[in-house]
Amino acid sequence: MDWPRSSESERRQVGTAERIARPDQSNADWLRAVVDTAVDGVILIDARGTILMFNPACEGLFGYSADEVIGRNVKVLMPPSYRDAHDGYLHNYHTTGDRKIIGIGREVVGQRKDGSTFLMHLSVGETKRAGEESIFVGIIHDLTGRERVERELRESAARLRAVVDTAVDGVILIDSDGIILKFNPACESLFKYHADEVLGENVRMLMPEPYRS
């Protein structure tokens, strides 16, 4: 199986879940224990999208117990805007054999039981025994923490810009080559240049000729 973008950890988890899907495996109980204690969510679905397995990490992520979702279509875990795309992936696979999402990690949005949504990373694997239909293995990693950090960084940057833009003193930000990256309103008043006129230029332009070398 080709795994072009999945991490090594995800490949191991998918491989473990795929082996669990084969009930004649002598170590199935041990493998099931691994999945049940996994930090990431693990879901098994059949070729129609019916949920076959839903590990405890998934219960924590989505707010459903396994009993509530096993036997239901996996679309129950997606916002409405994603459900048609999911049907399209399955239909495309059944009609063309194109394994468009198999082995490729991607960021998608999940929907909890309470209707709230969260960002997650989904990796999908496939297993099949001779004469039987495919079973798909989904490994889900919650990206809520990363999303929160990114939001906090954006908010912090916005606050910093507000401080700089309202400062009484001139503030100039330059890179290691002396290229002007930031030129606040106080600088515009001091130097009589608009920010657009100096951004991307060398800071030497703001100095008298004797000081430019």
The yes-or-no verdict on residue 63 having pLDDT over 90 is yes
What is the pLDDT at residue 6? Answer: 46
Mean pLDDT of the chain, nearest integer:
81
pLDDT digits (tens, 9 = 90+) for 80-110: 988 877 666 666 665 655 555 565 678 889 9
Same domain, 77 and 31: yes
Count of the separate structural domains present in the chain? 2
Q: Quick check: pTM over 0.85?
A: no
pLDDT digits (tens, 9 = 90+) for 166-179: 898 999 999 999 99
Same domain, 128 and 152: no
> Is residue 112 domain-resident?
yes
Over residues 46-65, mean pLDDT: 93
> Is residue 2 domain-resident?
no
Same domain, 23 and 113: yes
Q: Which domain holds residue 160?
A: 148-211
What single-letter amino acid sits at 106? R
What is the pLDDT at residue 10? Answer: 57
pLDDT digits (tens, 9 = 90+) for 142-196: 998 777 777 888 888 888 888 888 898 999 999 999 999 999 999 999 999 999 9
What is the pLDDT at residue 38? Answer: 86
CATH of the domain at 169: 3.30.450.20
> How many percent of the chain have pLDDT more than 70?
76
Whether 17 contacts 41, CB under 8 Å: no
